[in-house]
Amino acid sequence: MKGMVLADGAARGQALVLDEPLSFWGGVDPASGAIIDVRHPQLGISLKGRVLVMSSVRGSSSSSSVLAETVRAGCAPAAILLGEPDLILAVGAAVAEELYGIRVPVLQLQLADLGAIPGGAAVSIGEGGEVTLG
């Protein structure tokens, strides 16, 4: 499948499919990469090294800085796959690349493609937005 590139890069990781949207601001501990939003059904799960899959973002403009901080701390997701475009996370990925030289691809996929990614699946993202399972 092919995604629309919001922040380019290559990555590989295990899919973490979120049941509900997540805001990085107040929802993710930037020092550990864990979900800390007490209302989120996946509270406590770490994003570190995972391919984060979520239909949409519950957002704050500060989510970009939290994403960049997780990159600095070595706790960022390997990639982020979204059902709706989110330029705030794309900005955070771009800033992290500029500051730390680490790329976190952010892609938008069609909802049918996003829904075809099972939790725990091995996911590879290639430059230009190519997404493969397995």
Any idea which residues carry the catalytic annotation?
Answer: 60
Side-chain-side CA neighbours of 13 within 13 Å: the count stands at: 21
- Between CA 100 and CA 57 the distance in angstroms is 24
Q: Rounded to a whole number, what is the distance in angstroms from the first to the last CA of the chain?
A: 13
> What is the C-alpha separation between 68 and 102, in angstroms, rounded?
10
